[in-house]
A and B are shown apart, each in its own frame.
Chain A
Amino acid sequence: MSMSDWIDVCSVDDLQPDSGVCVWADGRQIALFYMPKEQAVYAVDNFDPFGKVNVLSRGMIGDIGGQPMVASPLYKQHFNLETGVCFEDETVKIETYGVRIENRRVAVNV
């Protein structure tokens, strides 16, 4: 078994364009965000480290200075979708995961 596992989580039709969904991936809650114009899918922890609840998949997405981001729906902190680093407080970071799409299926690397 390799160091990391690719887990099949959902179909691309389950993704929401310009928005997020949450998937259950082998004991973890992962938020998936889909930006159709960039053909990009990002995977990060669903857990909001500030509000301490599982809600990041319900945040709004976009960019700050060209960096893809999600804004927490609770207290509006922004997290970089590529690095997981919080824009307002660089000491806070959420986990990010690799995403692979094959045959219209989405897999995340946990």
Chain B
Amino acid sequence: MSKKQTLVVIGNGMVGQNFLAGLVSSGAKEHFEIVVFCEEPRPAYDRVHLSAFFSGKSAQDLSMVEVGFFELHGITVHLGDRAKSIDRSAKTVLSEKGVHIAYDKIVLATGSYPFVPPVPGHERDRCLVYRTIEDLEAIQTAAEQSQVGVVVGGGLLGLEAANALKDLGLTTHVVEFAPRLMAVQLDDGGGALLKRKIEAIGVTVHLNKNTTLIDDGESCLHKMNFAGGDALETDLILFSAGIRPRDDIARACELEVGPRGGIVIDNQCRTSDPDIFAIGECALWNNRIFGLVAPGYAMARTVVSVLEGGDNYFTGADMSTKLKLMGVDVASIGDAHAQTPGALVYTYQNGDSEVYKRLVVSADKKRLLGAVLVGDASGYGTLLQYCLNGIELPENPDSLILPHRSDESVGLGPDALPMSAQICSCHDVNKATLCSAIEAGCNTVSALKSETKAGTGCGGCVPLMKSVMECELAKLGIEVSTDICEHFPHTRQELYHLIMVEEIKTFDELIEKHGRGRGCEVCKQAVGSILASYWNDYILKKEHIGLQDTNDIFLANMQKDGTYSVVPRVTGGEIQPEKLIVLGQVAKKYGLYTKITGGQRVDLFGARVEQLPSIWRELIDAGFESGHAYGKSLRTVKSCVGSTWCRFGVDDSVGLAIELENRYKGLRAPHKIKFAVSGCTRECAEAQSKDIGVIATEGGWNLYVCGNGGMKPRHGDLFATQLDKETLIKYIDRVLIFYVRTADRMQRTSVWMENMEGGLDYLRSVVIEDSLGIGEALEKQMRHVIDTYQCEWKTTIEDESKLKRFRHFVNSDRPDDNIVFVEERGQVRPADEREREELKARKHFKILEEA
């Protein structure tokens, strides 16, 4: 075998990392020893979603590098060490920290840097840029001392940055040199609507402004002086006026660069030195710089193929984009500015619903050349396919942007797409690849994602991917059943709807009207839960008892040996010593194994079914109530000790936790629900790992939703910030009932959120903006549940007829002799099978002896 060559990759941004990932899964890997230099202190992270850092995502969450990636593939990586120079004649690279290595090939993926206009004063304090995580940390620190923030630049990144400033609580302005926002992607009409929408949510936009000087302000730190004499005062300035390629290392070793910067590359991404490649935003192809991630990935794929000995070519890239800026949908496709000779333009503007759409069509009206969508980008997928695949337009092209007033569908069915149509542009997945994966058995979106990677970049293609999948499955004759089980041809959500609309109160009525057979444990439990959350009857009522799992029937949790555990409610984890003593006394009296739970309460194990009523009678007499540990319902609201005792506490987390737990106790849901409340951002209650998490800040409560610990941990999403208690409770009421009504059976909030079309934004629109107009109904349903709360154990021990069930035999008082305990660490535990046999034999022997 020949000796391996050394490949040096300079830069570990999104494109550099994409190149590495492609390389290690290609045949070229075994020919190269790979060395990576990364100037930043951490490996590649998702710069496209950088603003998520301010809504609670950590640097780790944004990482694009799988844990152990470099080690696994034997890649040497120098983090926090910039490659300083290349000696092309000696074929060596030197780094800032003095690493000096010989190379055979180099891939430059140095990216770009933010352009800061050379305005006098631009180097003042709190004048920042928006590119790296370190930049964001600096912005966060500067924002803490600021009231007003200005973003210089009204392009895509500038508006993202403005959104971040607004989220940080600053009065936010955008200052743009051009006469419209997003000048590259939008035309005047689209830009004007975007401006109106952004101003409506409180960001002031200043167009045609050329900043000439930044100096001391009077009411703020800075004063920005504009050509023409007017001025704007601000405490913080963010420059986002475009990017410039990082080509300094290439210039220094005399590689060819463009007149306005950028490392010149050919169709195989080679620079003027055939052993050096350049990819991503540092590269200049055909006199163009590509400031999007998808073209960078395409370049990365080209270089991987060249290193493999293939002959792939980079032939330019589609610069179409779709994104949500401050809640406004914006999309731009192809020749948005109608620069193609003879192009025709169709424009639709709806002043009422604030939608703007523009189509650019070829002179013969057969081909779509470009489009602009603002306010409603739902047509993006279809229009992009028309444009990229040259699909012939319908007779009246404007039907593609006019609102549908009848049932006719103008969407492009997935069948109309050729097999070569690119569905996912981030990972270059075409329809043919999707179809073969579907044929091979991928019949869910998530299976398709993990098989083909499609939809795992920006995610914009997921709806199209889904419709391709549904269409192909239908052709294969595979019916994807979403029925809850064989007894009902409905989903859980549909059953919920039927029960609400037809006011159905029992399982028998439901199965008679809408189902078949006798039911099973799946549909019975689901319907039991729906009925309980809607009507909130006592769950052990005669007509509901058959719907309950053993845990719900005996209001305790069955353990492996058939005994039960008992968990009384300890709201917020706060317990008076007298009550703690009672728990100890009861445990001692009944010989129960005692353990502290993760939800800040006490679990008592080993209770026989016939002991449960007397145990609970003692607990209720001491003031305890059911903890619902047995139910798919609210479990605990964990809390830290909060401002009452803690030096750092900002608000009374225990008080709020108790109030929330008392409010929502007893609510039946598709799965268990856990809450936590932290009294400050140190987050000792771990609220971000709960279904509902609340964290106190100086400005009010921050609400996180849909977090999870367990098998697949998920950090909660920051749903709303700085809420007063009343609003907080209103939002939680609505989120919970919406979850209860719409989730699948046994679906935790985390999975519910991940499967929700539109995700967090959609949930916000339903709950905060009340986009479905059901806000009050959701609150009313919660009110009903709260008003009809009862301690199920109290109701049960007061009803002699219910107590009949709490015996092992209905016809005998004898206990189950199969339950045997042994002692361990001073407490009982269930005997294992061998111990049980031994003990039974010994007992039998004793009886024989006595006889």
Contact = CB atoms under 8 A, between A and B. Distances in A.
Given A19-B553, A52-B833, A53-B560, A62 B816 contact: no
Contacts of B386: none
Interface in A21-50: 21-24, 29, 35, 37-38, 47
A34 to B, nearest CB: 10
A55 B550 contact: yes
Given A21-B810, A37-B518, A73 B549 contact: yes
Given A35-B518, A74-B560, A18 B545 contact: yes
Interface in A49-77: 51-55, 58-66, 68-69, 71, 73-74, 76
B521 A60 contact: yes
B518 A53 contact: no
Interface in B531-567: 542, 545-546, 548-551, 553-554, 558, 560-562
A52 B562 CA distance: 9
Nearest to B525: A60
B818 A53 contact: yes
A78 B804 CA distance: 26
B513 interface: no
Interface residues of A, number: 36
Contact of A24 (B545, B546, B812): B812
A9 B811 CA distance: 7
Given A18-B545, A37-B518, A62-B524, A24 B809 contact: yes
B846 interface: no
Contact of B816 (A19, A29, A35, A76): A29
B518 A55 contact: no
Interface string B785-821: 0000000000000000000110011111010101100
B773 interface: no
Contacts of A37: 508, 518
Contacts of A16: 545-546, 805
Given A24-B814, A65-B486, A18 B546 contact: yes
B520 A55 contact: no
Nearest to B542: A17
B45 to A, nearest CB: 42
B546 A17 contact: yes
Contact of B810 (A10, A17, A35, A71): A10
A23 B561 CA distance: 19
Given A19-B553, A52-B833, A60 B518 contact: no
A60 B811 contact: no
B809 A62 contact: no
Contacts, number: 97
B118 interface: no
Nearest to A47: B818
Contacts of B558: 55, 58, 73-74
- Judged by DSSP, the binding face of B is loop
B546 A61 contact: yes
A51 to B, nearest CB: 7
B840 to A, nearest CB: 13
B804 to A, nearest CB: 8
B519 interface: yes
B833 to A, nearest CB: 6
B816 A60 contact: no
Contacts of B810: 10, 14, 21-23
A62 B521 contact: yes
Contacts of B816: 29, 54
Contacts of B519: 62-63
A65 B516 CA distance: 10
A77 B805 CA distance: 23
| Listed residue (B508, B520, B525, B804) with the most chain A CB atoms within 10 angstroms of its CB | B520
Interface in A1-19: 9-10, 14, 16-19
Most chain B beta-carbon contacts within 10 A, residue among A35, A38, A73, A76: A73
Given A52-B833, A58-B553, A68 B518 contact: yes
B517 interface: yes
B611 to A, nearest CB: 15
B487 interface: yes
A14 to B, nearest CB: 4
A105 to B, nearest CB: 11
A24 B808 CA distance: 9
A84 to B, nearest CB: 18
Contacts of B833: 52
Nearest to A10: B811
Nearest to B508: A37
B610 to A, nearest CB: 11
B560 A76 contact: no
A13 B546 CA distance: 16
A22 B809 contact: yes
Nearest to A65: B486
Contact of A60 (B508, B524, B805, B809): B524
A8 B819 CA distance: 26
Given A17-B542, A18-B545, A29-B816, A62 B520 contact: yes
A62 B487 contact: yes
A62 B524 CA distance: 9
B811 A54 contact: no
A39 to B, nearest CB: 13
Given A19-B553, A53-B562, A63 B814 contact: no
B517 A63 contact: yes
B521 A51 contact: no
Query: Which of A17, A62, A74, A76 has its CB near the most chain B CB atoms (within 10 A)?
Result: A62
Interface in B660-686: none
Contacts of B554: 58
A14 B811 CA distance: 9
Given A24-B814, A53-B562, A62-B524, A19 B517 contact: no
Interface in B149-187: none
Contacts of B809: 22-24, 29
A32 to B, nearest CB: 8
5 contacts: A19-B546, A21-B805, A24-B809, A29-B816, A63-B519
Given A23-B812, A24-B811, A73-B551, 9 more contacts: A16-B805, A19-B553, A22-B809, A29-B816, A53-B560, A59-B521, A63-B487, A65-B486, A73-B549
**Which 5 pairs between the two chains have the least Cβ-Cβ distance?**
A18-B546, A73-B550, A62-B520, A60-B521, A53-B562
